[in-house]
């Protein structure tokens, strides 16, 4: 963590550069500007960490003009702290005039791009202007800049810290009757305190935190199961999944541990998941499309005889949001490229029996892939045993 001590939040100059790039995209598309309504896009282009609720926020980026934040009046003072933008307010939601239609009118534009729009507003919006329903922010967000990647790397280190704590403390805790909830609180609290010590002062006001889950035994077969007052039993797998964020940028790390010695069947599961990890990195290094990466990554699991136990894609993009496009999944033909950040999370789920998942954060480079989440590399699956 020593290198991350020099980190700082992204600067107003960085956000201004992003806005300039987005305006250039709008101009190339023949638009007067972009009205950003998706919360992730508004935060990305403005640097504003705001509370997401039913009242819409908008960021207007005109070609050749000054950016404007459109916010409800109760957010006026918060929005005034955002550097480099003008602030305009509407009274309240839902309003006599829907706030989004008010925003479109305030742009005084005849050709504008909108990244996300409620279907009920499409017809009245088209009466006000020619609407291009394209997310022009997506290609910018997909390929991260060095400043963004530095934050992803640091976040991945804190996600790993949760797993390191679990590996060192879980055996004693389980022997004393610790439940999934106890284990989660201990390992997450440990890393969360370290994150605060290292970065609270510099990153105050930005998105920063750690979330986790601990699932054991048959409950591990539920990818999004609840964490329970349940004591892991001998011979069972324990999935520990972590999401960490720093300066508004996300990373993930996860591993499956075994309470007791690995059986032959469990070794085959873990080996298939490791092969999927390796295949994902190889496919990304070759610049395959997202769909092709997903196919290549899941092939070793199928070849090992666990195809029926696959419940989800191999991964997803990460950055401003914990889950964001592009998706390492069927149906996404986006070519992968240097600067993209993905999760790699092979999973094998056998309902009423057991579940297995591991996660790495991967950064695509030129002909290689960086893995800033190092727990699995530092602890091969034979070492993920809780005595």
Given the structure tokens 């006599």, which residue do they identify? 96
CB 340 within 8 A of CB 139: no
Answer left, alpha or beta for residue 110, where phi above 0 means left and psi between -120 and 50 means alpha: alpha
CB 327 within 8 A of CB 374: no
Structure token pair of residue 348: 């094998």
Closest CA to 167 of 261, 257, 263, 270: 257
Residues of the chain with pLDDT under 50: 1-5
- The pLDDT score that the predictor gives to residue 387 is 84
CB 22 within 8 A of CB 34: yes
**Which residue blocks in the chain are alpha helix, DSSP H?**
12-28, 39-46, 76-80, 99-107, 119-128, 138-142, 146-175, 180-203, 264-285, 290-303, 375-378
Domains recognised in the chain with CATH numbers:
3-140 (3.40.350.10), 143-386 (3.90.230.10)
What one-character-per-residue DSSP string does 31-72 give?
-SEEEE-SHHHHHHHH-------SS--EEEEETTS--EEEEE
| Residue 95: Cβ within 10 Å count | 14
Per-residue pLDDT tens over the stretch 203-234: 998 999 999 999 999 999 999 989 999 999 99
pTM, rounded to two decimals: 0.95
Quick one: DSSP state of residue 340?
A: -
- The pLDDT score that the predictor gives to residue 1 is 42
CB 188 within 8 A of CB 317: no
- The pLDDT score that the predictor gives to residue 289 is 98
Cis peptide before 94 (omega within 30 of 0): yes
- The pLDDT score that the predictor gives to residue 6 is 80
- The pLDDT score that the predictor gives to residue 40 is 97
CB 151 within 8 A of CB 7: yes
């Amino acid at each position: 963590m020593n290198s991350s001590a020099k980190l700082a939040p992204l600067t107003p100059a960085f956000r201004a550069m992003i806005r300039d790039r987005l305006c250039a995209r709008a101009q190339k598309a023949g638009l007067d500007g972009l009205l950003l309504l998706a919360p992730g896009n508004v935060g990305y282009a403005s640097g504003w960490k705001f509370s997401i609720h039913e009242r819409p926020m908008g960021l207007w980026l005109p070609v050749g003009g000054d950016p404007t934040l459109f916010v409800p009046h109760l957010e006026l003072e918060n929005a005034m702290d955002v550097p480099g933008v003008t602030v305009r307010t509407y009274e309240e939601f839902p309003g006599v005039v829907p706030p989004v239609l008010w925003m479109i009118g305030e742009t005084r534009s005849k050709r504008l791009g909108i990244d996300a729009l409620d279907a009920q507003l499409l017809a009245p919006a088209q009466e006000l202007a020619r609407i291009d329903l394209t997310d022009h922010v997506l290609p910018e967000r997909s390929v991260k800049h060095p400043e963004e990647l530095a934050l992803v790397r640091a976040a991945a280190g804190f996600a790993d810290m949760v797993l390191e704590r679990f590996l060192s403390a879980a055996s004693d805790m389980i022997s004393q009757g610790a439940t999934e909830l106890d284990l989660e609180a201990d390992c997450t609290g440990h890393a969360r305190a370290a994150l605060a010590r290292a970065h609270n002062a510099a990153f105050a006001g930005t998105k920063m935190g750690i979330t986790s889950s601990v699932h054991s035994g048959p409950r591990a077969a539920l990818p999004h199961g609840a964490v329970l007052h349940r004591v892991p039993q001998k011979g069972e797998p324990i999935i520990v999944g972590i999401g960490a964020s720093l300066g508004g940028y996300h990373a993930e790390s996860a591993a499956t541990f075994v309470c007791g010695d690995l059986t032959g069947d469990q070794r085959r599961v873990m080996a298939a998941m490791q092969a999927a990890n390796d295949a994902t990195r190889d496919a990304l290094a070759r610049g395959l499309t997202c769909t092709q990466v997903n196919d290549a990554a899941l092939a070793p699991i199928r070849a090992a005889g666990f195809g029926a136990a696959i419940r989800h894609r191999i991964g997803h993009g990460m950055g401003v949001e914990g889950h964001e496009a592009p998706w390492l999944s069927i149906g996404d033909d986006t070519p992968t490229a240097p600067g993209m950040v993905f999760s790699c999370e092979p999973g094998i789920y056998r309902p009423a029996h057991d579940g297995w998942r591991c996660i790495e954060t991967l950064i695509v480079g030129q002909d290689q892939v960086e893995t800033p989440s190092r727990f699995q590399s530092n602890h091969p699956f034979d070492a993920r045993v809780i005595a």
